[in-house]
A = this chain, B = another copy of it.
Amino acid sequence: MAPAGLRLPKDAPRTFGIVLYNQFEVLDVFGPVEALNTISRNLVDSETPMKCITFGPSTNPICSGPSEGMGSSFSQSFVPDATFHDEKKLSEVDVLIVPGGLGPPDSERQAVIDFIQTFYNHRIKGHQNKYLFTVCTGSNLAAFRSSKTPQVPSALEGLAATTNKSAWDYFFVQNGWHKGTYWVANARWVPQGNVWTTSGVSAGTDGMIAWIAQVYGEDKAQFACNGMEYNRQANPDLDPFAALYGAKDVPATEADVKWIIKT
């Protein structure tokens, strides 16, 4: 297969960070990443290369599987490139991808939330071409304020967002965790400027293809789909899983929601 010779728009974001933690959901990461991998290795030689940096609580291997005692030993191991404390590496990141899943375990949870909010506060606010992209319950992690800066609104406050539909009842009905965000039930993904959230697991792939279309161009999105032999869902508002799980919009109070970006 000859290189396709793709060119990205000038100044397009090229460095992706991926948050890893124990018990993350593998397709949340590797659906979107597959699309990015496909593009990254087909750029023309004169292009600035794309770069991927995985971040974890430490550089010890991360395990995708559930904790001991959940009746399963089905898991896979991943090696993060950098830790959540690596400010230098974080300063390179243009787009941070946050997966969901059963985790993080309680011992890692605050570190993950702090890392997301540090990225948001230092890299997104006031910068062009920087993005936060969450998959599945990754948005629920992004909805919390950092323990380090409890007075600073989270990345999702005042925005519309979505998350996993099977977890909807747990988060919003049982626990009332709206966190000042308007949660959209009937959405495969919700783009809000430079903060994108997607629905459960495989929705991250469709959301990333849509992100690629918007930021890199539709030809790159089509190239990724063809390379992956992927029948993409291109309509963000089509989500049969909302009805399946009985998910309904969870409006934050008007005082909470400062703006919702219509796209």
Report A's interface with B, CB cutoff 8 A.
1, 16, 18, 25-27, 29-31, 33-34, 36-37, 40-41, 43, 45, 47, 49-52, 54, 61, 64-66, 70-79, 81, 102, 164-167, 170, 199-203, 226-231, 233, 239-241, 244
Contact = CB atoms under 8 A, between A and B. Distances in A.
Contacts of A71: 41, 43, 45, 47, 49
A27 B228 contact: yes
Closest 9 CB pairs of A and B: A40-B74, A27-B34, A200-B229, A30-B30, A77-B79, A202-B230, A201-B228, A26-B30, A52-B74
Given A52-B76, A231-B233, 10 more contacts: A27-B228, A31-B31, A49-B72, A49-B74, A51-B73, A52-B73, A78-B79, A79-B79, A201-B228, A202-B229
A41 B102 contact: yes
B244 A230 contact: no
A49 B68 CA distance: 12
B76 A54 contact: yes
Contact of A72 (B50, B61, B73): B50
A13 to B, nearest CB: 13
A72 to B, nearest CB: 5
B166 A226 contact: yes
Nearest to A47: B71
B34 A1 contact: no
A194 B156 CA distance: 48
Contact of A229 (B45, B77, B164): B164
